[in-house]
Homo-oligomer: A and B are copies of this chain.
């Protein structure tokens, strides 16, 4: 039998938790809500060592470990997306903590979302799925937490949209998380970010293959591929793209190995081939309707208005958790400037807040890229450790 590395949680299993109903912030209601989730480590007797990990836009519940022995042999195949951070002795130490990661509602990785069956009709929801928000996602996670009988969390941690969820945890349930770690995130999207999301959604909706969300096959959704291309440009920094691609033309050998799907796109320059490849990979793994619902949830996220009557300063008054905020210098999607606004608002309210801006040319992606941004992730992991050590 193939052994997992000693600092890995090893073989894990995706589990499901179903609860009766969820009243949604924007007026809708879901019946029989399922959350797909995984756990790592052991919950202690007084249930005081739990920690929640929240995933980003297109992430899933599989934050650490492997599903099968084959995954261990295969290079990174089906390894958890935060394997770098979660495991025995790692920054999020499974020898100490019981870690929960659940797939958000609205997504397509096992939790209730637009491609789930609507119990009322027996058919997929599609675009009849009700609008969901970040607060709804967190409310569903709270139900999962209660099923474990857990009343306090050591921390809630997440990057990008995962950071929004962590922030929302501290606002909606101020007495539950003792701390939150919010990475490369903001308290509400800027007009530019909403605009980029809108372009992605419009690309999906303009695609006749999408058929108002009732597409027979997801394999040919070029609109979703274009949406992912826009996304990718915003996840990388200008400097990072320049270093990686510059004005280099597509390698003919690479071009020849392209799939028919990739060949449908403009692939003259190397950066274009890269985008086509990212587009194709995304279409294979993600759901177009989920993309619409989840980006919309991000756009609606608005801490200032929901909790502060329009003021971030007032909203931050509600926070009881200690906060660690992490940003990356070249992240122009969720910029250090946005992070500093949160840090300042917390500071003005005499909250316990730490901030680290990590130098990186990898833009927004720095919090996830493992091979390229090993250095950034080492710093980030150490920052988690230093922060968590004093959370009692």
Contacts and interface: CB of A to CB of B under 8 A. Distances in A.
Contacts of A268: 296, 299
A159 interface: no
Interface of A is mostly: helix
Copy number in this complex?
Answer: 2
A190 B226 contact: no
A222 B230 CA distance: 16
A196 B234 CA distance: 10
A71 to B, nearest CB: 32
A91 interface: no
A19 B279 CA distance: 44
Contacts of A264: 205-206
B266 A205 contact: yes
Given A247-B188, A268-B299, A269-B299, A241 B203 contact: no
Contacts of A332: 238
Interface in A225-242: 225-226, 229-230, 232-233, 236, 238, 241-242
Contacts of A189: 247
A271 interface: yes
A182 to B, nearest CB: 19
A302 interface: yes
Contact of A229 (B190, B199, B269): B199
A312 B367 CA distance: 35
In this complex, the member of A229, A268, A271, A296 whose beta carbon has the largest number of chain B beta carbons within 10 angstroms is A271
A6 interface: no
Given A190-B238, A206-B223, A198 B275 contact: yes
A217 interface: no
Interface string A260-293: 0000111011011001100100000000000000
Contacts of A201: 266
A275 B241 contact: no
Given A205-B264, A206-B264, A226-B226, A194 B272 contact: yes
A152 B269 CA distance: 37
A202 B195 CA distance: 18
Nearest to A300: B268
A128 interface: no
Given A199-B275, A275-B199, A247 B194 contact: yes
